[in-house]
Structure 1
Amino acid sequence: MKILVLANFGMGLYNFRKELLEELIKQNNEVYISLPNDEYIPKLKKLGCKFIDTNLDRRGKNPLADFKLLLSYLKILKDTKPDIVLTYTIKPNVYGGIACSITKTPYITNITGLGTSIENKGLIQKITLMLYRLGLKKASCVFFQNKTNRMFFKDNRIVESKTRLIPGSGVNLQQHRFEEYPPSDGKIRFLFIGRIMKAKGIEELLEAAKLVKESYSNVQFDLIGGTEEENYQEKIDKLERLDIIKYHGQQDEAHSFISSSHAIILPSYHEGLANVLLESSSSGRPVLASEVPGCVETFDDGLTGFGFQAKSVEGLVEAIIKFINLPYDQKREMGIAGRIKMKNEFDRNIVINAYLEEINKVMDKENNNEFIREVS
């Protein structure tokens, strides 16, 4: 069987879907991946994937460029003739879905989050929802990573086909193994992992760090992630000179940073289902996260972490101080409870099995249709 995967960048495909790709290849399928060339492509090729270089601007809003992407997908479908297509993230979901509909190719879509273009109301939202209706119209199955996103799509009549809820991308429990809690050496380390951008709550985090450091000099705030919006770099540099934060830039792996941290902070405005929180909890670290869909599913408030209102500096500061004042043993127990939650609810094998089930259903249906055509 030929399987084509449409995605927007290599890091997400490798870090969160590698095990699915490995399983599909293990089952003697030809797996093609269509996405822009980046440093993760050699790793994906090493798994056995066949790479198709595809020009895609993740954040671009140029209609001509998007039309060219649609044409690219149509050509890829014509050349590879896949039995089924798997799509991830907004542009592959929309334009890949439209291309599959035109060519009558079965496809399965994964809604990894609503994204800023849908969260922010206005003309862009209306256009995005219209395009999504076209892209999802003939999907064999649409995976959602949280109930709120699925309800939004259903309430707005964006999706008419079968839907299924999965626990995000799941977490690889072996790769993100449990780590002993860092010793109490008088320092409390908080870690943020994510793109340095407004929608990740970076403004609130930087302001909260300033306020907390005024009263708690023993607290350290570490930040990991690329600066996708350049206006934050100057502010980050200034706060680093004042020893309020430590910025480590983009990192290939974050596990060592998680291991040395006492808690992870994610003040995001919206998520599909936050992989950072899954990986941190799997490693035995408490999480402090905004109470938004895609975050709230990953922790139990007061048991594995603390929640706070999104876009609220006051709420974030309160959660941080509440955690600081917990006894050391209670912090450690929070991390252990988080690991147990990940094992019970978010094992990546749950996601892999869901994909295999839906792919098999699609193939069975296609084989039955082919048999009916031959008989008639």
Structure 2
Amino acid sequence: MPKALILANSSSGLYDFRNEILTGLMDEGFEVTVSLPDDLKAKELQDEGCKVIHTDINRRGVNPVQDMALFGAYRRLLKSEKPDIVITYTIKPNIYGGFACRLARIPYVSTITGLGSTFERGGTLLKLIVAMYKTALKGCSCLFFQNEYNHQIFEQHGIRGKKTVVVNGSGVNLDKHKFEEYPGHKDDVTRFLYIGRLMKEKGTEELLYAARKAHEKYGDKVSFAAVGYSEEDFEEPVKEATLAGYFKSIPYQKDIHPFIKEADAIVHPSYHEGMSNVLMEAAATGRPVITTDINGCKEVVNKDVSGLLCRPRDKESLYEAIDRFMELPMEKRIEMGKAARDHVEQKFDRRSIILTYINEIKQIV
């Protein structure tokens, strides 16, 4: 029985967005082991038949001591598990897992799930990251990108694997995220929902500004809520917004579908994405989306048909999009939700994306 080892930085990210790859590999006769830094979805993965191994990862920033410890942990893991193929996601598993696989001469495939802020800021850190990526991915049997823009940026920096495949993100499970009729709340309150970490790069400053300004205009006829953890820098601003009555913060939820179901629209003012899973899930549920006009977000939106776009890092532009949505009649909002579902059915069905991954993996092993 061939063995696949998955290196990832989040159990929820792996289970919620890439679980079908694991179950698909097991259906093909693979033994699957996953390496994760947390146990939020460890039980679910184990119940499906995966072996789960804990591996500490500092997800934020660069710490040479911790990062070298991660590299050492991956080397030991390869030696003990003896996988036939390794599959890596996100920057640190991609880089340090790639280093370890090259040294061990074990084939590996990696997925670029987004570029992060380093590629925007440039400087010495970018030069370091590019050099590490070049070395780590040089031996990668197949390098997956979630949008063409990210692929072109890597090409410009000379970062390449042996083969490249561009897919439409992780796709969305259309059965799990089923279409829901538009809520039509009896209290006539328009409910906007944000899903994800409250942090600068996800547009939290702009979101809080737009929520305050919309509340000033529409009063109790508008509601803003966020589901997810708050980064330290935004704990106080979020608390102030909550006390002021124009924002509600809800802790991370394992099942996000009921929250999307009750929302009138999903707001996602991110600065950069690989391909936004939040937007795909919202659209699949039949909810209009308001998001930034950037690669990784705009592809999920049929502009002005299934959602609205605003300029990134522009609080007034975000507010204007929200204000436009507030002025839409109920019939138009319902049409947008249906168009959103149609759009992801045509372009983001996870089944076709998983098939692409598994076919590539079977060619390697």
CA distance in 1 between counterparts of 2:294 and 2:258 reads: 27
Q: 1:359 aligns with which of 353, 356, 361?
A: 361
- Secondary structure, aligned partner of 1:216: helix
Q: 1:192 aligns with which of 194, 199, 207?
A: 194
CA deviation after TM superposition for structure 1 residue 231, in Å = 2.5
Cα deviations by residue, 1:268-324 (Å, 9 ceiling, x for unpaired): 000110000000000000000001111011111101000010000110011011111
CA deviation after TM superposition for structure 1 residue 168, in Å = 0.6
The residue number in structure 2 matching 1:348 is 350
The residue number in structure 2 matching 1:311 is 313
> Is 1:10–1:37's contact at 8 Å kept on the other side of the alignment?
yes
Equivalent residue letter for 1:111: I
Query: 1:226 aligned to 2:246?
Result: no
The residue number in structure 2 matching 1:68 is 69
CA distance in 1 between counterparts of 2:352 and 2:161 reads: 24
Equivalent residue letter for 1:272: G
> Is 2:3–2:84's contact at 8 Å kept on the other side of the alignment?
yes
Question: Superposition pairs for residues 176-215 of structure 1, below 5 Å?
Answer: 176-185=177-186, 186-215=188-217
Q: Structure 2, unaligned stretches of length 5 or more? A: none
CA deviation after TM superposition for structure 1 residue 116, in Å = 2.4
Q: Which deviates further from its counterpart, 193-202 or 18-27?
A: 18-27
- Secondary structure, aligned partner of 2:47: helix
The residue number in structure 2 matching 1:120 is 121
Q: Structure 1, unaligned stretches of length 5 or more? A: 364-376
> Is 2:74–2:96's contact at 8 Å kept on the other side of the alignment?
yes
> Is 2:55–2:73's contact at 8 Å kept on the other side of the alignment?
yes
- Secondary structure, aligned partner of 1:333: helix
Equivalent residue letter for 1:199: E
CA deviation after TM superposition for structure 1 residue 126, in Å = 1.4
The residue number in structure 2 matching 1:371 is none
Cα deviations by residue, 1:118-140 (Å, 9 ceiling, x for unpaired): 33222221111111111110101
Kindly tell me the number of residue pairs found equivalent between the two proteins: 362
- Identity score, percent: 43
CA distance in 2 between counterparts of 1:279 and 1:37 reads: 23
CA distance in 2 between counterparts of 1:50 and 1:254 reads: 25
CA deviation after TM superposition for structure 1 residue 8, in Å = 0.8
> Is 2:141–2:161's contact at 8 Å kept on the other side of the alignment?
no
CA deviation after TM superposition for structure 1 residue 160, in Å = 4.4
Normalising by structure 2, report the TM-score. Answer: 0.97
CA deviation after TM superposition for structure 1 residue 184, in Å = 4.9
> Cα RMSD (Å) of the superposition?
1.1
CA distance in 2 between counterparts of 1:60 and 1:48 reads: 33
- Secondary structure, aligned partner of 2:25: helix
Q: Which deviates further from its counterpart, 94-103 or 49-58?
A: 49-58
The residue number in structure 2 matching 1:95 is 96
CA deviation after TM superposition for structure 1 residue 11, in Å = 0.7
The residue number in structure 1 matching 2:132 is 131
The residue number in structure 2 matching 1:12 is 13
CA distance in 1 between counterparts of 2:154 and 2:197 reads: 26
Q: Which runs of structure 1 show a deviation greater than 2 angstroms over 4 or more consecutive aligned residues?
A: 116-120
> Is 1:118–1:129's contact at 8 Å kept on the other side of the alignment?
no
CA distance in 1 between counterparts of 2:234 and 2:115 reads: 24
- Which is higher, the Rg of structure 1 or of structure 2? 1
CA deviation after TM superposition for structure 1 residue 94, in Å = 0.3
> Is 1:118–1:124's contact at 8 Å kept on the other side of the alignment?
no
Q: Which deviates further from its counterpart, 257-266 or 27-36?
A: 27-36
CA distance in 2 between counterparts of 1:26 and 1:32 reads: 14
The residue number in structure 2 matching 1:22 is 23
The residue number in structure 1 matching 2:277 is 275
Query: 1:42 aligned to 2:49?
Result: no
> Is 1:184–1:328's contact at 8 Å kept on the other side of the alignment?
no
CA distance in 1 between counterparts of 2:121 and 2:252 reads: 27
Q: Which deviates further from its counterpart, 244-253 or 281-290?
A: 244-253
Query: 1:83 aligned to 2:84?
Result: yes
CA deviation after TM superposition for structure 1 residue 60, in Å = 4.1
- Seen in structure 2, the aligned counterparts of structure 1 residues 312 and 193 have a Cα distance that, compared at 3 Å, is same
Q: Which deviates further from its counterpart, 264-273 or 124-133?
A: 124-133
Cα deviations by residue, 1:310-369 (Å, 9 ceiling, x for unpaired): 000110011011111111101100000110111111011012101111012212xxxxxx
- Secondary structure, aligned partner of 1:154: helix
Normalising by structure 1, report the TM-score. Answer: 0.94
> Is 1:240–1:247's contact at 8 Å kept on the other side of the alignment?
yes
CA deviation after TM superposition for structure 1 residue 215, in Å = 1.0
Q: 1:256 aligns with which of 247, 255, 258?
A: 258
